[in-house]
Structure 1
Amino acid sequence: MAVAELTLSSKNYSSWSLRGWLLCRLAGLTITERPIALDDPENRAELLLLSPSVLVPRLTHEGASVWDTLAIAEYLHELYPQAGLYPADRIARAHCRSVSGEIHSGFSNLRSALPMNLKVRHDKFPVFPGARPDIERIEALWTDCLDRYGGPWLFGQKPTVADAMFAPVAERFLTYAVPLSPVSAAYCRTVNGWGPMREWIDDARREPDEVEELEYEF
């Protein structure tokens, strides 16, 4: 496969960068990582949850420039349908697109209450009550998928776009020791033990602590 370039933000804090990177790994696309400086104003605003960034993740490949994680997912699926980014079955594929779209566009209370930080673990953390409906909805989505398709991934035996989209959520739940059902807790462990996820986490832990505002929040 052709080498592509993926523009990324902080591996420790940027959930969107993680999603884009995991999608490329699922597709089997060889990428060169192009990090954006943490002092870039737009990048900093995205990390501080003040606004979304159109800079990351951005996939540049054979003349195409694709940003937004779901756009990247669709682009990769078009190029490499054999990679299995989406389920082969039409009904399951539609379901996968639906749950991926829901995490893409929703759960703002969860995002603000539990920012991604892969370097820390809390034994106890006071979860903002406004985030609890988000947590309950995510657990309902996970339980439905795992029951319907048999696990250990949301759509069966292999990870799909949906797992890449929910991976940062699973890591948030682990970071903040969010009480979960046994089914949801097992899924979080599956995501955390995933080879690409471990590689990303190792890189995140080696990343310098340069975002002072975020460190202050924790």
Structure 2
Amino acid sequence: MTLKLVIGNKNYSSWSMRPWLALRGCDIAFEEIVIPLYTDDPADKARILSHSPAGKVPILIDGAVTVWDSLAIIEYLAERFPEAGLWPSDPAARAQARSVSAEMHSGFQALRNECPMNLHREIRPVELSADAKANVARIEDIWRDCRARYGAGGPFLFGRFSGADAMFAPVVTRFHSFAVPVTAETKAYMEAVMAMPAFAAWVKEGLAERWIIDRVEKV
């Protein structure tokens, strides 16, 4: 039975991007169901609720199993498809990958608010608050530390592509779209993520969308 992944607009939905990249980046077959977010059509909200009572995307459907929340979906995929290697095999690396993914999941609110994901936004900087700048510094520290400790085997945080890269991929789009000043080391990691065929496919399809969320476009 083919997996189904219910997602929001690719241009804006950072949470949807994460499990989508985990699936596509690991060549796991799935059917995609796109439901636009923040529309005036109550049918769109009803469609999301028909898949999960939480009323939010993303949602993974695997037969009788329904998993919602980006990180929970990645954890489920790691167990369902162990050969995909979504978490590092080394216990210490795996613990760090899960820790930084959880930190991404629950933190960095200032950066989220001030630099919302918007793929078709004209690339230009904004003046970040002190809190957002602190978020950027912490993310750069995370990426630097992961690469230094565990990145010898490839260009990603833990060498090869992992769930941690999927969790941080929307941050790459934010840093790029808002021309956030970053180190050369950070830029090299961003370029590695953006060079992924799965990442490029998401961006291409997001740019082709015509749905507009006005409140995001004002940033």
TM-score (structure 1 length as normaliser): 0.89
Give structure 2 stretches of 5+ with no counterpart: 46-53
Which residue number corresponds to residue 12 of structure 1? 11
Which residue number corresponds to residue 153 of structure 1? 156
Task: Provide the rounded CA distance (Å) in 2 between the counterparts of 1:73 and 1:42.
Answer: 28
Point out the more displaced range, 119-128 or 109-118.
119-128
Does the Cα contact within 8 Å between 1:26 and 1:83 map onto a contact in 2? no
Which residue number corresponds to residue 207 of structure 1? 209
User: Aligned letter for 2:186?
Assistant: S
Does the Cα contact within 8 Å between 2:118 and 2:216 map onto a contact in 1? no
User: Aligned letter for 2:113?
Assistant: S
Runs (4 or more) in structure 1 with deviation over 3 Å come to 40-44
Give structure 1 stretches of 5+ with no counterpart: 45-52
Does the Cα contact within 8 Å between 2:5 and 2:30 map onto a contact in 1? yes
Task: Provide the rounded CA distance (Å) in 1 between the counterparts of 2:190 and 2:62.
Answer: 32
* Aligned pairs for 1:1-218 within 5 A: 2-38=1-37, 39=39, 54-149=55-150, 150=152, 151-156=154-159, 158-215=160-217, 217-218=218-219
Shift of 1:126: 1.8
Shift of 1:130: 2.1
Which residue number corresponds to residue 47 of structure 1? none
Pair 1:57–1:159, CA change in 2 (3 A) = same
Identity over aligned pairs, percent: 42
SS at match of 2:158: coil
User: Aligned letter for 1:153?
Assistant: F
Shift of 1:27: 4.1
SS at match of 2:6: strand
Task: Provide the rounded CA distance (Å) in 1 between the counterparts of 2:130 and 2:93.
Answer: 33
Aligned residues: 207
